[in-house]
Amino acid sequence: MAKATYKDAGVDLDVYAESMSRLPRLAKRTFSPRVMQLDGGFAGLFKLDFDNALFARKYEDPVLISGTDGVGTKLKLAIDSGKHDTVGIDLVAMCVNDAICCGAEPLFFLDYIAMGKDDPELLEQLVTGISDGCVESDCALIGGETAIMPDLYQIGDYDMAGFCVGVAERKHLIDGKAIAEGDIVLGIASNGVHSNGFSLIRKVVFDIAGLSMHDHVEALGSTVGETLLTPTKIYVRPVRHVLSHYKIKNVVHGIAHITGGGLEENLERILPKDVDVEINRGSWPELAVFNWLQELGEIEDAEMARVFNMGIGLAMVVSSYYASNVQKMLADNGCDVFEIGKVTSGSGHVKLV
């Protein structure tokens, strides 16, 4: 009788070891002086503050802020196209963009990758994207897990999840409670569909329109794959620049990451029950990708607004007195920013007018 081995069951520990050997350099390029290296350890170590007095935060009442997310069925497009080095950026973006909505400084990131078969080159591409996203968001990649599960995933398939931890002073937490009548809503532009709505996108683009990832779309000036795999924009640095500038006054009253649910549902999550927000349709430029998708699938306006970000990736509710200054600071940090609405008295709802 033949002796059973792990390799026969679909998991090659020698290949797994090769995969793991490719990852330390991708993690170490994200490290800050607060990372405490523990090579071969079972967990990642991170100091809340700096030893160096010049950079010390000197927290008075720090609050840890955490979040987790994935990339959804956008991964299917990466798998079908064979381009795997950008979805890791999406993974980081979906987590850190949520964390900054509470005023957090992202500190460190963990990833979980599940695959049907160990593939060192594929894993390296995936983690390259995660590493790139962490560098862009000043967040240290201090650990992760790669699970090889041949009975759950087909060969070539994979899934990803990310976990972010940040910190903020309690007195500077942003929870929406300070939003008041007269506040201004600033919309920071997205760079495309980001990481939401891909089940609908795949149905429209591939099933209904019969296009492929390599087809060139004149209206977009790019291929289907290039457009749809554009990584989610990371807003950490420009938002942190604004929050760090106003160290005494809390001029930013609310921040919403515009993901599934669109502007209406995501802004309503942070509104007090005694105010409404009026969003002015047409107050920001429409992105060609959304017009293209809507025409391909004959999608109703209301469905588009509920599923997609429609060109606004992050919304900031700010004091009207400081709105122009905040808008300029964001623009100076590379963002396209538009005044898209205002806060009125009401009952906690968002209206597109």
- CATH code of the domain in which 73 resides: 3.30.1330.10
| Banded model confidence at residue 237, pLDDT cuts 50, 70, 90 | very high
Whether 41 and 87 map to the same domain: the answer is yes
The pLDDT value given to residue 292: 97
The pLDDT value given to residue 190: 98
Helix (H, G, I), strand (E, B) or coil at 184: strand
Domain enclosing residue 104, as ranges: 13-172
The pLDDT value given to residue 55: 87
> Is residue 189 a contact partner of residue 235, using CB atoms and an 8 Å limit?
no
- Does any domain span residue 74? yes
The pLDDT value given to residue 311: 97
Whether 38 and 85 map to the same domain: the answer is yes
| Banded model confidence at residue 41, pLDDT cuts 50, 70, 90 | confident
pLDDT in tens, 186-206: 999 999 999 999 999 999 999
**Number of structural domains, the chain?**
2
- Give yes or no for residue 2 having a pLDDT over 80: no
The pLDDT value given to residue 329: 97
Average pLDDT in the 95-101 region?
98
DSSP, res 220 = T
Whether 63 and 195 map to the same domain: the answer is no
Whether 117 and 28 map to the same domain: the answer is yes
The pLDDT mean for the chain works out to 95
- Does any domain span residue 165? yes
* Beta bridge partner(s), residue 63: 168
Residue 132 token pair: 């790139």
The pLDDT value given to residue 1: 61
Average pLDDT in the 48-64 region?
92
Whether 71 and 218 map to the same domain: the answer is no
Average pLDDT in the 314-343 region?
97
C-alpha 140/C-alpha 135 separation (Å) is 7
Whether 78 and 212 map to the same domain: the answer is no
C-alpha 182/C-alpha 185 separation (Å) is 10
C-alpha 249/C-alpha 42 separation (Å) is 41
Longest dimension (CA), the chain: 80
- Give yes or no for residue 279 having a pLDDT over 80: yes
Average pLDDT in the 211-226 region?
94
Whether 167 and 202 map to the same domain: the answer is no
Whether 167 and 193 map to the same domain: the answer is no
Q: Could you tell me the CA-to-CA distances from 166 to 46, 103, 113, 258, 320 in Å, in that order?
A: 11, 9, 22, 20, 28
**To 10 degrees, the CA torsion angle through 28, 29, 30, 33?**
70
Domain boundary among 172, 200, 226: 172
The pLDDT value given to residue 52: 87
- Does any domain span residue 5? no
| Banded model confidence at residue 306, pLDDT cuts 50, 70, 90 | very high
Average pLDDT in the 317-323 region?
97
Domain boundary among 124, 142, 172: 172
In the numeric block, the tokens 């010049």 are attached to 54
Whether 251 and 311 map to the same domain: the answer is yes
Helix (H, G, I), strand (E, B) or coil at 253: strand
Find the DSSP H helices in 82-193: 87-99, 120-136
The pLDDT value given to residue 92: 98
Whether 262 and 335 map to the same domain: the answer is yes
- Does any domain span residue 7? no
Domain boundary among 138, 172, 206: 172
